[in-house]
Amino acid sequence: MARVAWFISPGSGKLSGNGWIVRASKTQPDRHPSPNPPAEGIASPHPGEISFEIPVSSVLFVAFPSPLLSSTLFLKCTELGCRRERLHAVRYTVAMADEKHHHDDLEERTTSLEEGTNAGASSDNGPISAAERALRWKQDKRIVPLSAGIYFLCYLDRSNIGNAKILNASTHNDLLSETRISNSQYTTALFVFLVAYGVFEVPSNILLKKLRPSRWIAFLMFAWGALTIGLGGVGNYAELTVVRFLLGTFEAGLFPGLVYYLTFWYKTSERSIRVAFILASATLAGAFGGAIAYGIGHINQAGGLSAWRWLFIIEGIPSVLSAFFVWFFLPDYPEDAKWLTTEERDLAVHRLRLEGSKGTQGSAMTWRDAKNTLTDWRLWGHYVIYFGISVPFSSLSLFTPSITAGLGYGDLRAQLMTVPPYAVAYVVQILTSWSADHFNERGLHSAALAVIGAIGFLISAVLPPEAYLSRYGGLIIAASGAFACIPPLLGWLSSNIFSTASVGMAIALNIGLGGAPGQIVGVFIYKADEAKRGYPTGHWTNAALLFLVGVGGVLLRIYYAWRNKKILRERVDGQEVRLFKY
């Protein structure tokens, strides 16, 4: 049998307006009519060659002639160039043979998508190349520490009002005493922050894409930092409420924005651990916040200002200054990252072609994308689960100093005792997220940690109020479980949104429709008049909602397994499909 193949010259590919144009030439004399290329032929300026155009997203495989053909070595050409590799899947094969043997031989020489990629499922969870691993590490060094630092400052400026509430309360130099604010008015000030937080999350994510991440996040940082400094000057309930509302407006876009931002740079299987590092900076901020408040408490009345005012001023300044650094050094998209080489940029874009959001080359979200996102009921399952975890997250963020004060620790010592629960939660959070990504089981990891957190709250709820040490242990368990299940939940959601144009909206809706209402509920469950009884309402509510998270996570995991089986069952042979992540 005579076989003739079109040979595509390495480096001959170039992008056109509609696709990718490559030149091909025959590798041995043409004794048969020329085969049809996979797309319409285009006249080539090089004699004996033909050019044709394929979509940028396509992968072209062209067989070498005998004797190399017997070793099933193929030339794989993509927008990254051409290279030889052993055949795993064939989308196009341009070859010719005797009419009699063509079909049988072609069937013998190619492997189906089912053999090469797990029944046609698109997956990027296999071993990665050394070049991709080096690229990912280079991205990590530039993106993850900076993103975690930004969120650290954000969380510090959001939660320091809880420290200010009881700071130097024994001398009546605390926030409530000096501004003559009641506990109910204080709760309202917390509430309006979360109202703004929920309203402005979705528009903020849209603006992040339109204005570029570095510009928008820097603007948000400068604004919330200036407002935090402004909190140091409030003198009454009205001023506190207005400034807290504005603070919620500008902080609203950061966390959903950072989760969305990671989708421009990382695969779905890589996101949970990185979301964990960012979110874990909140637990660090909780730990440092208590320690910082303890130190600042010793400069009460310095310069004529109470310590709680110094707390807002000192913790707001770093955000304002860091905004200028973020403007210039936070990378926007892989497509225009000048700190990457050309080859690295190409690889960064190519590896996210199926499951990453698109930056400068991405299309804008359409009304159809928005409608599909809003009417996809499985996403509402994610939102309900996230509501369940947002209540304990919010209540612990705002009331941990009050909870520790109710465990027999007074004044400044209560600030210091907020550190261990956050420190332990930080470690558990990182380990859980790594394991969830490694085993592709985000739902079950979140469910398990939610149940552990619920047990911690139950311990605090059922023990007598004077069992201080045991209830403090319950607080550590509760914080570890509640905080640790959040990163896998967020990674799980972003992994299962297949429209890259809609991923930013879905993440913002998850945090806005699920998270914001949950955080509002968290404001009201730890009642000041229950302090001597150990805050039973807050502990029981958080325990119940974390059990809801556990059950919801298991049910959604079962649903995705059923959907995957259905997709594989209905798949046409040779069709490439994308499966839901667990």
> Is 500 a residue whose pLDDT tops 90?
no
Percent pLDDT > 90 in the chain is 33
Residue 494 pLDDT grade (very low, low, confident, very high; cuts 50, 70, 90) = confident
Q: What is the model's pLDDT at position 477? A: 95
Q: What is the model's pLDDT at position 78? A: 39
Q: What is the model's pLDDT at position 581? A: 84
> C-alpha distances in angstroms, 179 versus 175, 198, 243, 367, 437?
6, 27, 14, 47, 47
Decide: 530 and 461 in contact? Cβ < 8 Å: no
Q: What is the pTM of this model?
A: 0.68
pLDDT per position as a tens digit, 5-14: 344 444 444 4
Q: What is the model's pLDDT at position 475? A: 93
d(CA 105, CA 98): 10
> Is 285 a residue whose pLDDT tops 50?
yes
Amino acid at 194: L
> Is 64 a residue whose pLDDT tops 60?
no
pLDDT per position as a tens digit, 311-365: 999 999 999 999 999 999 999 999 888 899 999 998 888 888 766 565 555 555 6
Q: What is the model's pLDDT at position 18? A: 37
Amino acid at 70: S
Question: Which pairs from 420-424 meet CB under 8 Å and 24+ separation?
Answer: 420/287, 420/476, 421/286, 421/396, 421/475, 421/476, 421/478, 421/479, 421/480, 422/283, 422/284, 422/286, 422/287, 422/290, 422/479, 423/283, 423/287, 424/476, 424/479, 424/480
Q: Which of 201-210, 247-256, 361-370 has the lowest mean pLDDT?
A: 361-370
Q: What is the model's pLDDT at position 236? A: 93
Q: Which of 90-94, 298-302, 425-429, 447-451 has the lowest mean pLDDT?
A: 90-94
Decide: 432 and 492 in contact? Cβ < 8 Å: no
Question: Can you say how many angstroms the Cα of residue 182 is from the centroid of all Cα atoms in its chain?
Answer: 38
